[in-house]
Structure 1
Amino acid sequence: MKSLELKPLIHVLNELETRSCLIEQQGNMIMNYYREPQIANELYKINSCTKSVISALVSIAMDQQRGPKPETPILEFFPQLATDSDSRKRDITIEHLLTMSAGFNWTEFGGQNSFPTMSKTSDWVQFVLSQPLSDVPGTRMEYSSGCSQLLATILRNVSGQTVAEFAEQQLFQPLSIESYHWETDPQGTHTGGFGLHLRPMDMLKFGRLYLNQGGWEGRQIIQTETVRYSTRPFLPAAKPQKAFYGWHWWTSSFSDETEIGTETDYFYALGFGGQYIVVVPSYDMVVVVTADRFKKKRTPVDIFRQYIVPLLLQQNK
C-alpha cells in the first residue's frame, strides 16, 4: 500500500480553516493537523459524536451483564408507559433506542424542532416518552437525541453510577482519557445525544478502540462480537443522510467508480458542525475531524468523503 499524498489535503484543511484533522493508519499517525498548536490540548464539544460513546457504554454494560439485553422493553425502566394510551410504546426496546427506531413522532431540528423543545423542558425523559408514535417501533429510523437521553437514563439506573463515572471506570481510564467535560440534563443525568467535550487525540483513541474491535492493549473493553454487531447497518438513515444506522453509529461505503466490486465499508460517529470519528477497517485507519468555523454561506464539509476518500483510492493504485 502506497503512502498517502497529504499535501493537497493540508491545503484544503488550511483553506477551510479546519480546526483539527488526525489520521492514523496501521498504527502510525500519518496526519496530525491543528489549525493552531494549542488546539491539541483543548477540550471541544463533539456534539452528536457523544451518541457513539453512549453506544460503547451501553455495549459494555450489556457485555458485563449489568445492562439489559437489546430486546428488553424500556417499560422495565419507564413504568409510566404502562398507562400510556398508545399500547405500542410498551413494545419499544433498548435496541429500538440504539437504532433510533423507537417510532416517536420527532423532528430533531426543523419541523417540530423536537430537540430544542426538549432541551427547554424541566424533564427531558418525560418529554420524550410523552411524544406520540408516528411509526411502529423498529420499522423506521428517525434521528432523535431523545432516544439517546433515554439510554443515558437507563445506563445510570442499571450501573448505579452517573454516566460519567461509569465512562471513567469502564472506558476513559483504560484508554488514558484524562480530561473531559460532560453536560447534564435537569435531572443531573449526563447528556446521551450531545454535550461531551474531548481532545482530538482522545477522539482518535475511541475510534482506534473500535478499529481494534473492542481490544485495547491486551484487554477486551468491548466484546468483539458486540462491536461488529453494533456497527453493522440496521436501517436506512432518514434523509438527508445517504447512509445506514447501527447502534448510534452511522455506516456507509465508498467505491472506485473505475472498478466494479470495490465497495469499501466504513462506520463513523458524526457531530453537528463537522465533527467526525471515522473507522475504515479494510484500510486499518481512523480519521478524526473537528470543525468550528462555519459561516452562513459555508456549510460543514465532509472532509473524509470529499477529500480523503479520493486519496485512499489513489493509494490503492
Structure 2
Amino acid sequence: MTINRRNFLKSTGVSLAGISLFSISPKPLWAEPLASGGLPRSSPERQGIASQNLLAFIEAVEKDKLGLHSLMVVRHGKVAAEGWWAPYAPDLKHTLFSLSKSFTSTGIGLAVAEGKLKITDKVISFFPQELPPIVSTNLAAMRIKDLLTMTSGHDKDTIGPLIQEKAGSWVRTFLALPVEHEPGTHFLYNTGATYMLSAIVQKVTGQNLLDYLTPRLLQPLGIIGADWETDPQGIATGGFGLRIRTEDIAKFGQLYLQKGMYNGKQILPATWVAEATAYQVPNATATTPAHEWNQGYGYQFWRSRHQSYRGDGAMGQYCLVLPEQDAVIAITSETSNMQAILNQVWEHILPAMKPAALSANAASQKALKQKLASLTLLPAQVNSTSPVAKSISGKTFKLADNDLKAQSVSFSFTNNACTFKLQDAQETHQITCGLNTWVFGESRMPGEPPRFVRMEAKEPKPKEKIAAFGTWKNPDTFEMTWVFNETPHSETVTCFFENGTVRLEYKDSVAAKAPERAKPRPTLEGRLA
C-alpha cells in the first residue's frame, strides 16, 4: 500500500503592481459576523472552553514557528475564538489546496442525491469520446467510488501529466495513463482522481463544479466570492484551487458536524455525510507509526485521532470536525509540519473542551482577546531609514538582461513608505511598501501569480492581493517582504546598494518552508542610469 502526500506544489512567482495605501485594524475576539449569514459569536467559557488553553495553543504554535495565518474555533455552533495573523484578515479568501477535495466530494454527494449518478458508476461511461484506443481491464473497472477513496489503481499521482497538458484534454490524458492495480485495492493519494470527480460533475450537470455548488452549497452556507482554478477547458481542478474565507471553512465543517443540516435546512443528505466521513479504506500499513495520516480515508476526507475527521490541504489548511466535542476548528497556515499543528490542537484545545459552560475568567478572557487582536506576521523591525535612501530616491537603475524581462527599477522613499517600480516592455509596475508596517494593495508583474495552472500568454494575468513591508537591514541593504495574502505564500526581496549599483535577490516562502520544492529565483542587477 502506497501513500503519496501532496508533492505537487509549485512554488509561487514574483508578482507586482500598483497599490493603494491603507492600514489594518485589529479585529476583536468576539466581533460581529462579517455579513448576514455569519456564524454567531460567543465567549470560550460559555461554550465550555477555557480561554487559557486557547492562549496556550497560540503561544505554542508561535513559539514553534508553525506559520498560522488564521484560527477559528467553533463549539455548539458558535464561534468561541477567532484570530488572523496580519496581513491576513477575516474578509480575505485563502487558498485551500487539497482541502478543496472535500468540497468536490460534496459535489458528488449532491449529484447522487439528485439522481444524476451513482458512486458505483464506471468512470469510462461518462467519457466515451475521450477513451484510449485500448481500454485496460483495470480502467474499465474503475468506479466513482474508487476516485472518492483514492483507490483508482494508479501507481503514481496523476496530477503531474494533467498539469503539463496546457491546451488539450485533462480527461483524455487521465484515461490514457496506465492503471497498474485493480481499482479499490490500492490506496494512493491522487489529486488527478479528484479532478476526474469534478469533470464527472460537469459532465452530468452541464455546469462547472463551482457553478453547480453555488446555489446548492455555498449560498445556503452564506459563502460568497469563492473562486476555483480551472483546466484549459474550463473544468474546475477539483483537487486544489478553491479559495474561500476562514469562516467559510468553519461553516463547511459545521454543515458536516450537523449531518448535512444548516440553518434548519437539510443541505446534504445525512447518509452521504456518514459515508463520506467514515473509514472507507485503510491508508497505511500496519507497521506505519501512528499519526494523522494513517487513520483511514473516506470520500476525500481523512479520518483523524480522537474520533474526528477532517479535510486538509498542503502547507496547513484544515477543516477539523470533532463530533464528540460538537466542535469545528478551521485553520489556514503555511507550514512544513502539518502534524505539528494538529499535535498542538490535541495537546491544548481538545482537553480544554468541557461538557458544560465554565465560569467566566475575566483575566484569561482579556489576555486571549488582546492576543488575538494583535496577531501579526510583521518581520522584525530594524531601521526605517538609511543615508542611502536619499541618494537613490526617485532615481532609475538600468537592469542587465534577466529572466523577468525587466528593464529598470527605481525606489522612491518617503517618511513612512517606499514605492518600488519595475519597468518592462509592456508597462511600469509598482508596489508600495510600508516602512516597518504593512500596506495592502493588488499586484501584477512579470512572473507567475501564485497558482498551479499555468495560464496561456494570451490570457490577462489576474491581480493578486498583496501586503508589503520594507525595512533597512543595514545602511546598504533594503529588504522588502511581499505577502500574497489570499494564498499562504510570500516573497522576500533583498536589495543591496553599492557604488551606484543595485542587486535584487528573491527568496520565496515555499522554499523556506519546504526546501525540496525550491525553485531558482531571479536575481536582478542594475546600475544608476
Q: TM-score range by the shorter chain?
A: 0.7 to 0.9
Corresponding position of 1:276? 318
Of the candidates 338, 345, 348, which is equivalent to residue 308 of structure 1? 345
Kindly provide the amino acid, as one letter, of the partner of residue 11 in structure 1. E
Kindly provide the amino acid, as one letter, of the partner of residue 158 in structure 1. V
Corresponding position of 1:11? 59
In the alignment, the residues of structure 1 paired with residue 72 and residue 337 of structure 2 have an alpha-carbon distance, to the nearest angstrom, of 17
SS at match of 2:225: coil
Show the 5 A alignment for 1:130-169.
130-169=176-215
Corresponding position of 2:295? 243
Q: Deviations over 1:249-275 (max 9, x none)?
A: 11122xxxxxxxxxx311101101111
Corresponding position of 1:231? 277
Max Rg structure: 2
Of the candidates 64, 71, 88, which is equivalent to residue 21 of structure 1? 71
Q: Deviations over 1:89-140 (max 9, x none)?
A: 111111111111110231x3xxxxx433321113222221111112101111
SS at match of 2:81: strand
Corresponding position of 2:111? 61
In the alignment, the residues of structure 2 paired with residue 48 and residue 145 of structure 1 have an alpha-carbon distance, to the nearest angstrom, of 8
Corresponding position of 1:96? 146
CA displacement at 1:182 relative to structure 2: 0.8
CA displacement at 1:85 relative to structure 2: 4.3
Corresponding position of 2:264? 218
Is contact 1:19–1:290 with CA below 8 Å preserved after alignment?
Answer: yes
Is contact 2:132–2:175 with CA below 8 Å preserved after alignment?
Answer: no
Measured at CA, do residues 220 and 314 of structure 1 come closer, stay the same or move farther in structure 2, by a change above 3 Å? Answer: closer
Is contact 2:132–2:172 with CA below 8 Å preserved after alignment?
Answer: no
Corresponding position of 1:260? none
CA displacement at 1:33 relative to structure 2: 1.6
| Bigger share in helix | 1
Is contact 2:69–2:332 with CA below 8 Å preserved after alignment?
Answer: yes
SS at match of 1:6: helix
Is contact 1:140–1:235 with CA below 8 Å preserved after alignment?
Answer: no
In the alignment, the residues of structure 2 paired with residue 71 and residue 124 of structure 1 have an alpha-carbon distance, to the nearest angstrom, of 22
Structure 1 residue 32 corresponds to structure 2 residue 82: yes
Kindly provide the amino acid, as one letter, of the partner of residue 162 in structure 2. M
Is contact 1:21–1:288 with CA below 8 Å preserved after alignment?
Answer: yes
Corresponding position of 2:124? 75
Kindly provide the amino acid, as one letter, of the partner of residue 69 in structure 1. K
Q: Deviations over 1:123-163 (max 9, x none)?
A: 22222111111210111111111111111111001112111
Kindly provide the amino acid, as one letter, of the partner of residue 288 in structure 1. A
SS at match of 1:19: strand
Q: Which deviates further from its counterpart, 43-52 or 9-18? A: 9-18
* Number of residue pairs aligned between Structure 1 and Structure 2: 295
SS at match of 1:36: coil
In the alignment, the residues of structure 1 paired with residue 295 and residue 96 of structure 2 have an alpha-carbon distance, to the nearest angstrom, of 20
**Gaps spanning 5+ residues in structure 1: where?**
109-113, 254-263
Is contact 1:207–1:279 with CA below 8 Å preserved after alignment?
Answer: yes
Higher RCO by CA contacts (8 Å cutoff, separation 6 or greater): 1
Question: What RMSD, in angstroms, separates the aligned Cα atoms of the two structures?
Answer: 2.0
Is contact 1:82–1:90 with CA below 8 Å preserved after alignment?
Answer: no
Of the candidates 236, 248, 257, which is equivalent to residue 202 of structure 1? 248
SS at match of 1:245: coil
Is contact 1:275–1:290 with CA below 8 Å preserved after alignment?
Answer: yes
Q: Deviations over 1:267-299 (max 9, x none)?
A: 10110111110111010010111013x4xxxx2
Kindly provide the amino acid, as one letter, of the partner of residue 247 in structure 1. Y
SS at match of 1:279: strand
Kindly provide the amino acid, as one letter, of the partner of residue 124 in structure 2. L
CA displacement at 1:40 relative to structure 2: 1.1
| Bigger share in strand | 2
Q: Which deviates further from its counterpart, 195-204 or 306-315? A: 306-315
Corresponding position of 1:120? 164
CA displacement at 1:303 relative to structure 2: 5.2
In the alignment, the residues of structure 1 paired with residue 344 and residue 48 of structure 2 have an alpha-carbon distance, to the nearest angstrom, of 17
CA displacement at 1:304 relative to structure 2: 5.0
CA displacement at 1:168 relative to structure 2: 0.7
Is contact 2:151–2:186 with CA below 8 Å preserved after alignment?
Answer: yes
Percent sequence identity is 28
In the alignment, the residues of structure 2 paired with residue 143 and residue 285 of structure 1 have an alpha-carbon distance, to the nearest angstrom, of 27
